[in-house]
Structure 1
């Protein structure tokens, strides 16, 4: 493919194919290659962190090419929830590959430091779980490694990619010009390299300058400078060690931080830079800035932010009277971390209370005040902890909260694993039970006797009269016929024959006519049968059967 008919973006067209093509980060490339060659003996994941455009993603793709691995690239901005990560990244990190790829699949998760907020709750925990259970190499790419949680950072090897020197960037730009057939002024290329902080931006600027022409001059690249956002760490260095307080103040305007946050950064790192009298003067200026911030909150007059910013930047910068050498590591305010941990603890506690309340049919507040202390007591025994975790379907962070232990501890992992196994066993038992009840009783399996559930005891309860009973043509029991004979007085015929079981003979039941009535031979007066008194209709129940409840019985 030639430069004439290739319409791809130059950053993709000239992306390094091999690790040997990565410029400016030889130490990082060497560490990455060593991790890949010894995979299986150390950590399963690696974090590539550094500024944008320094070659992190290109190094990951080049590693897959050099090692002959298949790869899958995911973006944490799209796959950021727990369910999405377990559904996509989990199987990719555990499944094998086809033949010819070395048996490895590289999982690349870009923008891994963008997991934050309520929507992403559980995302980092899911990534840690994927790394823990992975059988394939995993690479996490992040701009700010410290935006990731500490357990996630500790679960992987950390490799830093530093900013590329301007001379190295200009060298790459010259190669691009040669391949594209462009006439480029070396001064113009150096100007592009110096005004950008990364190689990707430099290549994009070169492509924009060469658009529609066959050459790149200084005039083409001098039309405007790239707006490079400042980082908080760079601004901290300008405040504490800079010689121009105006530049430091202007640099704060490019930060994505308001004065309420910036004063926390200065307050946290001021004791690491200044000592003695300089430290006293620095805190004096910082206290005046805090006064202006308080007035801003009370009066809702945000014009006072200017005075607060001036005191916390220029006042602290002018408080230094002597030179301090050495390297200082800046960090965000400590109370931010405490607030974050406290909020995370409250969220975990409320999640457990909601599950307990659902199981015990009580409110979340009652479960939090009454049942959580009892659960903490029961979790001292592993057997109870496993069964309760399975019943409530607790996650690892919830188990760690009840045990008052770290989430990455061995005990928490064992209880979580055994509780999940117990849940799976119960699901399998329910499936087997449902399958047994699904059989039709009229069709027993092969080898089973054809016996009804109601057959036992039925033959014993049959009346003895059915043993000799005969069935008529309609399948009903045929009653035995009685013989008819004439009455001696010429009256109605009398039926003789076997009586029904339990029925006394009629002659024994009826008294003799001579005992009850007149002289012998006189016909007995016929007694008209007395009508049976009608039974009053039974009073209907106040509640019909359909309306009856347990309280009516």
Structure 2
């Protein structure tokens, strides 16, 4: 790419921490961490909205400190093996300047470690942080998308949105460098519609492309759709003075009212107190009523009323204003659903087995039968019998007992239930064998004699008959009789062939296989 068409965000990227626009407190904390590296945490997390200077500050720090740096971003594969190979070796190896030099590892978009391609990457990063003697900077838009162990292992430095006046000042400096005549109102218009400096620079470059002047008309037609974040929406709902502004912000939020009500419910007690809290929950409850009608009737037109109540109703419920910073958190029940996912799957599995045995639905088995089964499980003998009957696994037995899967009691019940299942199978096999031996109905396609042979009795085979030999008459005698000579003796004819089944004797009487009463006690079918 020729220099005339170079991306301005790269061309005017800060080369020193002193050139970073805004976030003076964050820049100061980052410089302090670098100057005292070795005495504190080895990694730092720079978090904040896109385009506020996080990556620029990290690279500018490397320039100020004279450090080499290695950067990994979202376009790179960042699974466990890759992180260990690149970041791990870079963190342990020296530099060309010897042991006195440092190599900075910059992991951009660390909160986007997800999917199969980045599997195990976060755990590998945590391991590198614990074992490295080199500085590491993690860059994230959402701090809480990172795991808690990773957040605890690093220093966190927030980057705030840049003031519009600071953005406009930077745009004016770029116009001067590019020898572009600019309208101050046009630059302020670009700066006001986004607090993202990178986006503002891109908008300026697009407006000035191929021209030597930027006017208000050039930027008025290029309005940018800025995606809202849940944290800004929460701030507008709880602290905003214009309820319609808060409502419009939810339209740009990638979240439906079903999820938004969870955020409102979770953070309402953090912001409101006393009467304000009561009125806020009253509005939120009305929104929940509308959402319930959506679920029952599939009438998604009710979302409009639910959104109005949970945003405008909650916003108007506040009478007293308070300052200070409030940390908004996602709904705790989302975490609980994650923690109880395995338990709920086990519960449903047990309910399905109970329902199959009792000819009931899974829902009915869970509500009506399962409490009774849990009560019966208090007796170990019944627990063994029921586990065998339902063919329960160890985790299912542990669920019904309310115990841990690895407990001794669960193991014993599972082992004895399996032994009971084996015993019942063996008894069934033995019973079927005896049933066939003592006169039971033969299996499909099995002849009656097979049952006799199964009983151990030998059939009486009749002696085989040898067919009589026929004497062959000479040809001359047969010709003479044909010509009218002596009467030819009638040729003996071969006896008619008798089917093999007709030659066999009658089958032995069935009672012949029954043991004699005086030798052995006669058994009855009830004994089987």
**Who is 1:9 aligned against?**
7
Secondary structure (helix, strand or coil) at the match of 2:225 reads coil
Separation of aligned partners in 1, 2:157 and 2:317? 37
What is the CA–CA distance in structure 2 between the aligned matches of 1:169 and 1:268, rounded to whole Å?
35
Shift of 1:308: 1.4
The answer on whether the counterparts of 1:230 and 1:254 sit within 8 Å (CA) in structure 2 is yes
Query: For 1:111, which of 101, 109, 112 is the aligned residue?
Result: 109
Match of 1:268 in 2: 266
Structure-2 change in CA distance of 1:240 and 1:122 (3 Å): same
Task: List per-residue Cα deviations over 1:141-171 (Å, max 9, x = no partner).
Answer: 0111122111111100111111111222122
The match for 1:537 is none
Q: Give CA-to-partner distance per residue, 1:240-262, whole Å, 9 cap, x none.
A: 23232222211111111111110
Q: Structure 1 residues 33 and 322, CA, compared in 2 at 3 Å: closer, same or farther?
A: closer
Unaligned runs of 5+ in 1: 348-363, 376-553
Q: Which position in structure 2 is the counterpart of 1:50?
A: 48
* Counterpart in the other structure of 1:200: 198
Preserved contact between residue 70 and residue 101 of structure 1 (Cα < 8 Å): no
Cα pair distance change 1:321/1:223, threshold 3 Å: same
Deviation at 1:325, TM superposition (A): 4.2
- For residues 108-164 of structure 1, the C-alpha deviation after alignment (integer angstroms, 9 at most, x for no partner) is 100011124676553322211111111211100011112211111110011111111
- Contact 2:43/2:155 (CA < 8 Å) preserved in 1? yes
1:156 equivalent in alignment to 2:154: yes
Alignment partners' CA distance in 2, 1:291 and 1:162 = 37
Alignment check: 8 A CA contact 1:52 1:143 kept = yes
Q: Residue 291 of structure 2 aligns with which residue?
A: 293
SS of corresponding position for 1:64? helix
> Where do residues 140-539 of structure 1 align in structure 2 (5 Å cutoff)?
140-342=138-340, 373=406
Which structure is higher in helix share? Answer: 2
Residues of 2 paired with 1:87 and 1:365: CA distance?
Answer: 42
- Rounded to whole Å, the distance in 2 between the matches of 1:270 and 1:286 is 9
Q: Residues 220 and 120 (structure 1 numbering): CA distance in 2 closer, same or farther, change over 3 Å?
A: same
Instruction: Say which SS state the counterpart of residue 192 (structure 2) adopts.
Output: helix
Give the match's secondary structure for 2:4: coil
Shift in CA distance, 341/136, structure 1 to aligned 2, threshold 3 Å: farther
Looking at structure 2, the residues matched to 369 and 80 of structure 1 have their Cα atoms a distance apart, in angstroms, of 41
- Note the alpha carbon deviations across 1:284-339, whole angstroms, 9 max, x for none: 22112112222222223322211211221122223234444444332221222333
- The answer on whether the counterparts of 2:182 and 2:215 sit within 8 Å (CA) in structure 1 is yes
Distance 1:345 1:143 in 2: 33
How many angstroms apart in 2 are the aligned matches of 1:336 and 1:43?
A: 31
TM-score (ref. length: structure 1):
0.60
Q: Which residue of 2 aligns with 1:125?
A: 123
Cα distance change on mapping 1:36 and 1:327 into 2, 3 Å: closer
- Given that 1:54 and 1:199 are in contact with CA atoms closer than 8 Å, whether structure 2 keeps it comes out as yes
Structure 2 SS opposite 1:159: strand
Change (3 A) 1:116 1:204: same
- Go from structure 1 to structure 2 and tell me whether the alpha carbon gap of 1:125 and 1:231 turns closer, same or farther (over 3 Å shift): same
Q: Helix, strand or coil for the counterpart of 2:45?
A: strand
The answer to whether the 8 A contact 2:46-2:159 is kept is: yes
User: 1:478 maps to what in 2?
Assistant: none
**What CA deviation, in whole Å up to 9, does each residue of 1:471-507 have, x standing for no partner?**
xxxxxxxxxxxxxxxxxxxxxxxxxxxxxxxxxxxxx
Give structure 2 stretches of 5+ with no counterpart: 346-391, 399-403, 409-528
Following the alignment from structure 1 to structure 2, what is the Cα–Cα distance between the partners of residues 344 and 13? 52
Structure 2 vs 1, CA of residues 113 and 341 (structure 1 numbering), >3 Å: closer, same or farther? Answer: farther
1:19 alignment partner in structure 2: 17
Correspondent of 1:87 among 85, 88, 105: 85
Q: CA deviation at 1:374?
A: 6.4
Separation in 1 of the partners of 2:9 and 2:48? 18
TM-score in terms of structure 2 length: 0.63
Q: 2: CA distance between counterparts of 1:97 and 1:344? A: 48
Between the aligned partners of 1:117 and 1:34, the Cα distance in structure 2 is 35
Structure 2 SS opposite 1:373: coil
Task: Return the alpha-carbon distance in structure 2 between the equivalents of residues 312 and 134 of structure 1.
Answer: 48
1:81 and 1:121 in contact (8 A); partners too: yes
Alignment correspondent of 2:415: none
What CA distance in whole angstroms lies between the structure 2 residues aligned with 1:346 and 1:81?
31
Q: Tell me how far apart the structure 2 counterparts of residues 94 and 100 of structure 1 sit (CA, whole Å).
A: 12
Q: Is the 8 A contact 2:243 2:311 kept in 1?
A: yes
- 1:6 is paired with a residue whose SS is helix
Query: C-alpha displacement at 1:269, in angstroms?
Result: 1.3
Give the Cα–Cα distance (whole angstroms) in 1 for the partners of residues 393 and 300 of structure 2.
40
